[in-house]
């Protein structure tokens, strides 16, 4: 299926010395959504899920700096800039508004896009993200950076630890050992010589959180209908951290997928994308999620 998928158009934004890769999938005459990458993702990682959307919606994908086909310079990155790149891509392809969905790291970009450009949104969906200072998250970030900055052997250990952290029990148990190893090896091969990308993307969270208090009025002013979809077994960003967003973004709703871990869209794609489509259709929080989704 992935081999048959390709964009209607694609290109690079030229931003100073940087090049930001984007793709536009669909027909060019329908409502559009944008799927925001997690930290270690790239546009092609979404290809297996696009058929769940492209029968009804056009889709924008793009790589942040340090990802996929975008520039991978070893320089500081900024999350608000990643949000601005999406606005520029929308201008480039002539899209006025999008349904924006950010998973994990992509949630940071989604929140900043809503803070800065909410007039360009139909809806906002977040999954596996937080918007508060949390000591446990700081510790998780610091140990990840230590793995990235260490030896090749230590980085390989990280690729084992990472998957233990992000999957729910049932999903992890169902993955054959050889598939698990292939997944781990792909991650290792992609980043062993580009660990600076993981470091720079992770470090971009520091100015994001340092500015949280100053920018909090902007987050509280987000009026876009916002849904949080969490996995009940998320151990990377525990539910109690994610739920604090409900007290910040006023027009928001909580949905929970039992048994799923941090990467809900991958572990429970039917429930995740099925509920996402219902939200897109109504553009309202008063919609009926798929059976099996709580909230």
What tens digit of pLDDT does each residue of 251-285 get?
Answer: 999 999 999 999 999 999 999 999 999 999 999 99
35-71 in b/e form (b: 16+ CB < 10 A) is: bbbbbbbbbebbbebbebbbeebbbbbbbbbbbbbbb
The answer to whether residue 91 scores a pLDDT higher than 50 is yes
pTM score over 0.75:
yes
Superfamily of domain 2-282: Alpha/Beta hydrolase fold, catalytic domain (3.40.50.1820)
Q: What is the pLDDT of residue 162?
A: 86
The pLDDT of 140-152, averaged and rounded, is 96
What tens digit of pLDDT does each residue of 94-126 get?
Answer: 999 999 999 999 999 999 999 999 999 999 999
Q: Which residues pair with 125 in a beta bridge?
A: 101, 227
Give 5 or 22, the one with higher predicted confidence: 22
Q: What is the pLDDT of residue 3?
A: 53
What tens digit of pLDDT does each residue of 215-247 get?
Answer: 999 999 999 999 999 999 999 999 999 999 999
Q: What is the pLDDT of residue 292?
A: 97
Distance (Å, whole) CA 152 – CA 192: 7
Nearest to 290 by CA among 103, 273, 242, 43: 273
Cα separation values, 38 from 26, 109, 198, 204, 214, Å: 22, 10, 11, 13, 25
The per-residue pLDDT of the chain, averaged, comes to: 97
Q: What is the pLDDT of residue 5?
A: 86
Give 248 or 161, the one with higher predicted confidence: 248
The pLDDT of 153-182, averaged and rounded, is 92
What tens digit of pLDDT does each residue of 42-69 get?
Answer: 999 999 999 999 999 999 999 999 999 9
Cα separation values, 179 from 5, 168, 185, 291, Å: 23, 16, 10, 29
Q: What residue segments make up the domains of the chain, in order of their start?
A: 2-282
Distance (Å, whole) CA 184 – CA 246: 34
The answer to whether residue 2 scores a pLDDT higher than 60 is no
Q: What is the pLDDT of residue 113?
A: 99
Q: Which residues pair with 124 in a beta bridge?
A: 100, 226
Distance (Å, whole) CA 264 – CA 273: 10
**pLDDT confidence band for 164 (50 / 70 / 90):** confident
Residue ranges with strand state E in 16-135: 18-25, 32-36, 58-62, 98-103, 121-127
Query: CA geometry: angle at 104 spanning 15 and 269, to 5°?
Result: 115
The answer to whether residue 7 scores a pLDDT higher than 80 is yes
Q: What is the pLDDT of residue 1?
A: 44
């Amino acid at each position: 299926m992935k081999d048959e998928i390709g964009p209607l158009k694609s290109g690079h934004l030229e931003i100073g010395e940087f090049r930001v890769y984007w793709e536009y999938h669909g027909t060019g005459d329908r409502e559009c959504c944008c799927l925001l990458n997690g930290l270690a993702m790239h546009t092609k990682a979404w290809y297996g899920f696009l058929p769940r959307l492209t029968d009804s919606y056009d889709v924008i994908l793009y790589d942040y700096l340090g990802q996929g086909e975008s520039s991978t310079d070893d320089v500081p990155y900024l999350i608000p800039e990643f949000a601005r790149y999406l606005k520029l891509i929308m201008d480039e392809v002539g899209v006025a508004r999008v349904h924006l969905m950010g998973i994990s790291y992509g949630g940071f970009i989604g929140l900043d896009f809503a803070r800065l450009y909410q007039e360009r949104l139909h809806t906002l969906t977040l999954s596996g993200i937080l918007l508060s200072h949390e000591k446990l998250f700081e510790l998780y970030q610091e140990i990840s950076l230590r793995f990235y900055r260490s030896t090749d052997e230590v980085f390989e250990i990280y690729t084992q630890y990472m998957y233990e952290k992000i999957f729910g029990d049932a999903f992890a148990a169902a993955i054959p050992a050889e598939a698990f190893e292939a997944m781990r090896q792909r991650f290792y091969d992609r980043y062993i010589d580009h660990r600076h990308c993981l470091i720079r993307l992770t470090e971009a969270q520091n100015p994001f959180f340092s500015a949280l208090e100053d920018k909090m009025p902007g987050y509280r002013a987000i009026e876009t209908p916002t849904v949080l979809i969490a996995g009940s077994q998320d151990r990377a960003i525990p539910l109690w951290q994610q739920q604090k967003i409900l007290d910040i973004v006023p027009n928001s709703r909580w949905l929970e997928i039992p048994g799923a871990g941090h990467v809900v869209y991958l572990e429970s794609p039917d429930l995740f994308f099925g509920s996402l489509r219902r939200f897109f259709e109504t553009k309202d929080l008063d919609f009926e999620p798929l059976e099996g989704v709580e909230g």
